[in-house]
Amino acid sequence: MPIQPAGSSAFRARRKLSASILIGMLCPGLGAAADDSSASMFSLHGFGTLGVVHTDEQYADFVGNAFQPDGAGYTRAWAPGVDSLLGLQLNMQATSQLLAVVQVVSQHRYNGSWTPEVEWANLKFQFTPELSIRAGRFVAMPFLVSDTRLVAYTYTWIRPPIELYGMLPVTNMDGVDANYRLHTGAVAHSLRVAYGQTDLNFPTGGELKARHFIQASDAMEYGSFTVRVGYTSLRIKTDIPGYEALFSGFEEFGAAASDSGFPAIGAQAAALGADYESQAASTYSYSMATIGASYDPGNWLLMSEWAKAVSGAFLADATGWYLMGGYRFSQLTPYLTVGQVEARKKIEPGISSAGLTPPLAQAAAMLNGGLAAVLTAFAPSQSSVSAGIRWDLVKDIDLKLQYDRVRVDSGSSGRLQNVQPGFRPQDQVNVFSLAMDFVF
Amino acid sequence: MQPAMSNAFGIVAMSFLLAGPLASADVVAVVSSKSAVTTLSKSQVLDIFLGKTARFPDGSQAEPIDQSEGTVARDVFYNKLAGKSAAQMKAYWSRIIFTGRGQPPKALPNGAEVKKRLVENPTAIGYIDATMVDASLRVLF
């Protein structure tokens, strides 16, 4: 697989190229899709969500995922960018065995824009009815509903529980995957293995490169039961502006403290800075095991997922889960969800400032504060209780209303963004969301 | 706001009314009487219509034929076999389509068209109102 450096012009050019290929393909596709009785090789599909979120929190933003630069709360009282998106997908069945899929999605991006991006562009070759191999850009599937994470019409919530789904917010990867279906008795298995990579940008200007991105899963269906076990592993390299300055600050402080007659504290600070500097520059591993189950016999709907992530560098190990239940009364489906993510934040006392002169103590406190902020950002812990209702209004359109009561753990900012000095973690955050989902 | 609300309630009331005929119509799964398939369980038929298998149990290719969205036969068929409403079926196929895993079966506008197709093609399988069955077809259940 070619290694594409993130942010390089070659990488950007490739994204642009894919978009223009799609536009070229859409034009013949549009006419063909209108006549669905013909055995056309093209089919055009679309999906979208128009949503708005309101929260009473004033010192932080509620966001849909870690890539959104702002959301509802501190930045604006009513935020359309948390859930709204529009996607177009073109399937081209070239032969009975070869399928090309291109999906373009416009959503609230890390840089605040809504520029459409190529979410998928892949070729799938169906060797047998049981075995297929796909190459290109395709869906990343850490969780049960990851495969249609962006198509909210396909699930009951306004958005999958952010406690669990935020543990790996990646939606696609570039690489190769294989899918194999088999039966063991009455249980139908869908086995999948994938290998690839992806590059991500964070609103703060940080970049993340995921390499050796491996996923393996088995989705087992038995009657109304689905059980899915999955494993994801990747190698992460982050480049976050400000980190190098912070950690070299520790080393500079160390030299200054030693010069001022505090050699022990100076050495400790320098060692701390060097340690974190090397962590920040390192490529570290992230692995996650997941198990999810759903029971969907008709009117009842029960779902639960659990995941445990183990990570290197300053990204904390975490455990997340949720449990949801719903009942369908004809077109109305009320539902309840509880979810939690608990990250084991690394205990870091920082520079011990005992006995330092006031200016040095002040500098030490600033550096310790900076380090604590870094560790907090990489250790989100929160829980939430949600109640909502889905209304299948008319064919292909639903309306959803959801209330989330989020409680962020002390010493954490949870999954909130743009956290301000006045933010108090343990207060509950009330979030109201309204959305209309559609497919066409 | 007022007219929109009453419209919305009208739609709900209509959908409850539309649910009425579901109970009365009797829809049967059928193949051509020339088909090699003689018996299939409900779950085997469902697997074919949900795209979970492309073959009959004997290994031969199966061509499922749906009726168009919004037809009573279609709603009764999936309600009876899978306990799923039209909206749930739409959500199911959206999941398949938007993952590039497949396409729903070819759909024909009514039972008569399905019958014609089955008679022409012994590998096809469909469902029609029980009153439309004749000697050219074999009822599976």
Q: Which of A420, A393, A378, A387 is nearest to A406 (CA)?
A: A387
DSSP string, B60-108: -B-EEEEEPTT-HHHHHHHHHHH---HHHHHHHHHHHHTTTS--PPEEE
Q: How confident is the model at residue A124 (pLDDT cuts 50, 70, 90)?
A: very high
Q: Which of B53, B90, B100 sits opposite A101 (nearest CB)?
A: B100
Query: Which structure tokens are listed for A206?
Result: 């940080």
Rounded to an integer, what is the distance from CA B16 to the centroid of its chain? Answer: 20
The DSSP output letter for A54 is: E
Rounded Cα distance between B97 and A127, Å, is: 19
Q: Residue A387: pLDDT above 90? A: yes
Average pLDDT rounded to a whole number, residues A109-137: 94
Answer for the pair A179, A191: CB distance below 8 angstroms, yes or no.
Answer: yes
Answer for the pair A54, A429: CB distance below 8 angstroms, yes or no.
Answer: no
pLDDT of residue A154: 94
Residues 6 or more apart from A85 whose CB is under 8 A from it?
A: A48, A49, A105, A106, A107, A108, A150
pLDDT of residue A396: 92
The DSSP output letter for A119 is: E
Pairing mode of beta strands A72-73, A98-107 = unpaired
Q: Which of B83, B88, B99 sits opposite A147 (nearest CB)?
A: B99
Average pLDDT rounded to a whole number, residues A330-351: 93
Neighbours of B2 (CB within 10 A): 6
Rounded Cα distance between B133 and B131, Å, is: 6
pLDDT of residue B102: 78
Rounded Cα distance between A325 and A376, Å, is: 32
Q: Residue A233: pLDDT above 50? A: yes
- In one-letter notation, the amino acid at residue B26 is D
Q: Name chain B contacts of A127, Cβ cutoff 8 Å.
A: none
pLDDT in tens, A199-229: 999 998 889 999 999 999 999 999 889 999 9
Cα distances (Å, whole numbers) of residue A364 to A225, A251, A350: 56, 11, 8
Query: Which structure tokens are listed for A182?
Result: 């088999």
Residues 6 or more apart from B30 whose CB is under 8 A from it?
A: B115, B118, B125, B126, B127, B128, B133, B137, B138, B139, B140
- In one-letter notation, the amino acid at residue A155 is Y
The DSSP output letter for A309 is: E
Query: Which structure tokens are listed for A322?
Result: 């949720």
Answer for the pair B58, B109: CB distance below 8 angstroms, yes or no.
Answer: no
B36 in reach of chain A (CB within 8 A) = no
Q: Which of A420, A428, A337, A341 is nearest to A381 (CA)?
A: A341
The DSSP output letter for A77 is: S
Answer for the pair A123, A100: CB distance below 8 angstroms, yes or no.
Answer: yes
Q: Residue A294: pLDDT above 90? A: yes
Q: Which of A146, A137, A257 is nearest to A197 (CA)?
A: A137
A392 in reach of chain B (CB within 8 A) = yes
Burial of A319 (0-12, 13-18, 19+ CB in 10 A): middle
* Higher-pLDDT residue of A33, A220: A220
- Angle value at C-alpha B100, between B99 and B106, nearest 5 degrees: 120
Q: Name chain B contacts of A298, Cβ cutoff 8 Å.
A: 82-84
pLDDT in tens, A47-100: 999 999 999 999 999 999 999 999 999 999 999 999 999 999 999 989 989 999
Q: Which of B52, B84, B99 sits opposite A188 (nearest CB)?
A: B52
Q: Residue A33: pLDDT above 60? A: no
Q: How confident is the model at residue A283 (pLDDT cuts 50, 70, 90)?
A: very high
B83 in reach of chain A (CB within 8 A) = yes
B42 in reach of chain A (CB within 8 A) = no
Residues 6 or more apart from A349 whose CB is under 8 A from it?
A: none
How much of chain A exceeds pLDDT 70, in percent?
91
- Side-chain-side CA neighbours of A257 within 13 Å: the count stands at 29
Subunit contact B11:A155, Cβ cutoff 8 A: no
Pairing mode of beta strands B63-67, B27-32 = unpaired
Q: Is A150 helix (H, G, I), strand (E, B) or coil?
A: coil
Q: Which segment of A113-117, A298-302, A424-428 scores lowest on mean pLDDT? A: A424-428
Q: Residue A20: pLDDT above 70? A: no
Per-residue pLDDT of chain B (141 residues; tens, 9 = 90+): 344 444 544 544 444 444 444 445 799 999 999 999 999 999 899 989 998 888 898 888 899 999 999 999 999 999 988 888 888 898 899 888 887 777 889 999 999 999 999 999 999 999 999 999 999 999 998
Residues 6 or more apart from A58 whose CB is under 8 A from it?
A: A73, A74, A422
Average pLDDT rounded to a whole number, residues A260-268: 91
Most confident by average pLDDT, A139-143, A302-306, A412-416, A421-425: A302-306
Q: Is A141 helix (H, G, I), strand (E, B) or coil?
A: coil
Chain B residue with Cα closest to A152: B91
Residue where the block lists tokens 């070239």:
A94
Q: Which of A138, A150, A331 sits opposite B15 (nearest CB)?
A: A331
Answer for the pair A133, A31: CB distance below 8 angstroms, yes or no.
Answer: no
Residue where the block lists tokens 């012009």:
A9
Answer for the pair A376, A370: CB distance below 8 angstroms, yes or no.
Answer: no
Subunit contact A154:B84, Cβ cutoff 8 A: no
- Min distance B123 CA to chain A CA atoms (Å): 16
Produce one character per residue of A294-315: b if its CB has 16 or more CB atoms within 10 Å, e if not.
Answer: bebeeeebbbbbebebebebbb
